[in-house]
A and B are shown apart, each in its own frame.
Chain A
Amino acid sequence: MKKIAAYILPVALLAASCAKQPQASQPTNTQATATTTTATAAPFDANQAFGPGKVVELKQPESNKVIIKLMFKNGSMVDPADKKGLTYTTAQMVTESGTQEMPVAQIKDKIYPWAANYYANVDKEVTTFTFAVHQDFLDEFYPIVRGLLLQPAFAEDDFKRVKSNQQNFVDQVIRASSDEEYSKKALEDLLFRGTNYQHVVEGTSATVPNITLDDVKKHWQNYFTENNVLIGIAGNYSQDFLNKLKADVAQLSDVNPSIPNAAEPNKPDGVQVEIIKKSDALGSAIFTGTPMPVTRSADDFAALMVANSYLGEHRKSYGKLYDKIRTTRSMNYGDYSYIEWYDQGGSFQLPNPNVPRTSNYFALWIRPVQIAEGLKKQYAELDTIDVGHAHFALRLAIREVDNLIKNGMTQEEFELTRKFLRSYMKLYIQTTEKQLGFLMDSRFYGRQDYIEEMDRLLANLTVEDVNKAVKKYWQTDNMFITIVTDDSEAEPLKQALLNNTPSPMSYSNLVKEGLPQEVLAEDDVIANYRVNVKDVKIIDSKDTFR
């Protein structure tokens, strides 16, 4: 329920703050116990990380708590075609429905004074349950953990509530809460259309109603088993405790689940655009993506990390895209690039663990830019425009990628970016939970400790390696693009993209008068930069994720 709750949080939370970019998260300082590393990952089969006896340990005797994580190799990609969302429902039913001995209300009463908590996170390829408790209450808390795993109640009333929330999410919340998150999910829908990776993990409007409680019980039996689980444990626990946990996890269903391969992303033919129109959108929120066959399991990932960071590190003001689109031209709040799935990027500055994926793509995120209607209202000098900043911003971003592919990074840029990453990556694992999460993800990718191993790979990297990797894995001729925008902007933007119409940047006089000549000259080039657009469709918001 954590994800859905995030969308229906009270207004009070919105009062919190206006971040330039969001908060960093927390640190800690312990060592992983398992640190045997290999510089090169073995042939990559994520399934090998899961199954009887697979454990990731992180002992921290000084800690005041214990974190248990159970990661199952399943995810939304194992959902049946007519019951998309079933894995999500099942995971929610484990956390929201108590045990056969103790209804969920009683559990909540019991753990209330301890501030213990647990939640499930479902992604495309894995489902992860996380349990956290202060060491003072570990012995009392553990029977609840055990009960949830081995005797989940799956009560009818809880099912009704879980499903209703899920339906509400796929019908309403997803389209109306955040246009940028919406465009990101729409991009995945396009990239993986027709495959087991297409649908959002919560399912679709049409399939959630098909899910029955009986489906949930069977799904639990067939896809959450001792044969596809990875145990993670961190904090202040004893060996006896771990032995007990292992013995109990071994009592999960003994079915050998049949886990399909993760679908490859579709190959775009030219640049294919979907514009999603909705009423009263103030801006155009843009996501682009194109298949990229490299993940953390490959050593080349380190080279791509440097290139990616140089182009647009998530929520950092140092990237090329951010510099040119936001800092220089004042067009939006930020612009970044990605070489792997970034969970809830609007909320977190540092990456969340436990969303590992084998199927990958390269993506650009252009946060909402102004539409024609808004610009015209604000500036009399822009009275004649019929398309806002989206076309120009897209051209600029794509040209930056092209420039990087063509020209590569300089030695100096490379050194600085690498130095940044080697320090910055250590901030991924500041808390016990994050550290454990990243260690478990490491196993998914066939590594022991991703953070350590990447550091070693980065240390040995050259600028030539990076420039070679960029040429090998990145291109911009064939891409998918999704744009969520206002209905007034959709058709003019479609025509402009399809016809490759010049898109001079529509500055206000205020900004334009102070811009250096080289920026204006670059604008002229960008305005006519050819993007290989082959197809543009307009979709009504109400027809998405059906």
Chain B
Amino acid sequence: MRHRLVALLLLLAFTVTTAMAQQGNQQNNILPYPIHQKQLDNGLNVVTVPYNSPGLAAFYIVVRAGSREEVEKGKTGFAHFFEHMMFRGTEKYSKEAYGDIMKAMGAAANANTSIDRTVYHMTGNAEMLDKMFEIEADRFQNLKYSVHDFKTEAGAVKGEYTKNSASPYQQLYEKLVSTAFKKHTYAHTTMGFFEDVVDMPNQYDYSLTFFDRFYRPEYATIVVVGDVTPERVNNLAQQYFGDWKRGSYKPDIATEPKQKETRYAHVKQEGFPPYLSLNFKGPAFSDKDKDLPALSILSTILFAENSDLYRKLVVNEQKARFIGGGPQFSRDPNLISVSASLLDAKDMQYVKDELMKALQDAKTKPIDAQKIEETKSRIKYSFAMSMDSPDAIANSLARFIWLSGNPESLNNIYKVYDSITAQDLMNAAKKYFVTETMTVGTIAPTEKSPVK
């Protein structure tokens, strides 16, 4: 008890200083609310953002394990499958009991998995925060399911694959990543290769290994936003997650070798809008380097609805219904995608040439400074307007937590955005828009890709 009290006092002191320090330079931050952080002794990071939403709080747990961590052959799609298993109960709370508690809380709760992470989230009554912590701490530490439950859940995952794969876009995406990446785990989608999805019922033992590896405090961050105080959140985190044991596993994720020539991925599909995507190898996320922000600003300028190219291809010539693009924010180097939905597959080569020409021009022709400023303004106002709920804020923070481990990356990267110049845009274009690292994706009625 005495230990706990001392810990509590220390914790309060720490929280207050952190909060004050952060409020000190809050004015320069894109997020107008201080981000309170506390790391427990076991490595679990706890993030709190008080926000004026009486009675309402968003409670997120970000686990930095996604399909990126699926390094073993035959185990693709497992992070996602495992996310499903997290709803299968513990000794204390069976899946039915968990369901009843969720129902009684009336919260909007769910989870999702992506390449770099798995996120569990719950938005509901802030007064129920204690219960939220209790049930989440229980399943994150004491998950227990039968072999039968495991095999049964595999059918639901296959059903999810079935539902998604009706879309030709999903079919192309699968082909595209496996073509663009040969060694790195980004070669498979988060759903996994179909043969691995089909084999999932046989992987019970592996699922225990997976839980043991990744559902550990050093992989996790708790985020609470809304009608809460950091003290309350930190105390609850200590109370319910304080005994969670660290693990030791670190995946060995292969580096993708440099791509040396253009690759192609094609889906033959009749009776569907032809689609073209040009995918270049891009940088990994960093909240200090200029590359990603420069690529984001540049692609906004090149492909937004008021861009020259959009006006030419979509508005005037009406050969494309849509063009767009941008870099993917991810932990390891990933793709910068530029895409177009076309009216007629016959125009695909022409549209591709136009897109390539715009990318080529960006290497040598400086973009007007005013345009750059307008784009920075757009990015900032768009963010400001979207931060209107605990859930929206928690979502934004979760993204930077999985990317860098630190929610302050959100504020940091917007400062980098502010510093971008016309020269930075040209540098990024030169560095990344090269045909050697490009993978061309197409959907068309033809047997082979209609573009060179």
Contacts and interface: CB of A to CB of B under 8 A. Distances in A.
Interface of A: 5, 8-12, 14-29, 62-65, 105, 108-109, 112-116, 132, 134, 136, 157-158, 160-161, 164-165, 168, 171-173, 175-180, 281-283, 285, 315, 317-318, 326-334, 349-350, 367-370, 374, 378, 416-417, 419-424, 426-427, 430-432, 508, 510-511, 513-515, 542
B306 interface: yes
A12 B326 contact: yes
B389 A8 contact: no
B299 to A, nearest CB: 11
A126 to B, nearest CB: 24
B339 A11 contact: yes
B166 A282 contact: yes
Nearest to B153: A330
Interface of B: 52-56, 58, 80, 83-84, 87, 95, 99-100, 102-115, 121, 123-125, 146-148, 151-156, 158-170, 172-173, 176-177, 189-191, 198, 201-202, 226, 269, 271-273, 275, 277, 304-306, 311, 314-316, 318, 321-322, 324-326, 328, 335, 337, 339, 341, 343, 373-375, 377-382, 384-385, 388-392, 395, 441
A317 B99 contact: yes
Given A328-B152, A422-B106, A132 B271 contact: no
A180 B159 CA distance: 12
Ranked 3 nearest A-B pairs via Cβ? A423-B106, A330-B155, A514-B148
Contacts of B305: 108
> Per DSSP, are chain A's interface residues mostly helix, strand or loop, or mixed?
mixed
Contacts of B335: 12
Contact of A105 (B201, B311, B378): B311
A18 B190 contact: yes
A114 B384 CA distance: 11
Contacts of B80: 18
A27 B226 contact: yes
Contact of A423 (B105, B271, B315): B105
Q: Taking each of A328, A330, A422, which has the highest tally of chain B beta carbons within 10 Å of its own beta carbon?
A: A330
Contacts of B154: 330, 510
A326 B159 contact: yes
A515 B306 contact: no
A315 to B, nearest CB: 8
B106 A12 contact: no
A183 to B, nearest CB: 11
Contacts of B277: 10-12
B166 A18 contact: no
Contacts of A171: 271
Contact of A370 (B107, B110, B159, B374): B159
Contact of A25 (B176, B325, B381, B391): B391
B388 A14 contact: no
B377 A18 contact: no
Contact of B123 (A24, A368, A514): A24
A455 B155 CA distance: 37
A368 B163 contact: yes
A113 B378 contact: yes
Given A11-B173, A65-B385, A431-B389, A161 B315 contact: yes
Given A24-B121, A27-B58, A8 B201 contact: no
A327 B95 contact: yes
A511 B110 contact: no
Given A15-B189, A24-B121, A423-B107, A176 B382 contact: no
Contacts of A329: 152, 155
Contacts of B152: 327-330, 511, 514
Given A23-B112, A161-B315, A333 B103 contact: no
Given A330-B152, A420-B103, A134 B385 contact: yes
Contact of B391 (A26, A172, A423, A513): A26
Given A367-B159, A370-B162, A511-B151, A134 B381 contact: yes
A417 B102 CA distance: 11
Given A10-B324, A15-B177, 8 more contacts: A9-B322, A18-B160, A134-B381, A171-B271, A334-B156, A378-B198, A430-B390, A510-B151
Contact of B156 (A26, A62, A330): A330
A29 B126 CA distance: 13
Given A419-B106, A427-B124, A27 B390 contact: yes
Contacts of B318: 160-161, 164
23 contacts: A11-B337, A12-B326, A12-B335, A15-B190, A17-B114, A18-B83, A19-B110, A22-B110, A23-B112, A26-B392, A62-B52, A64-B385, A65-B388, A108-B305, A109-B306, A112-B304, A115-B378, A115-B385, A157-B316, A333-B163, A350-B108, A367-B163, A427-B106
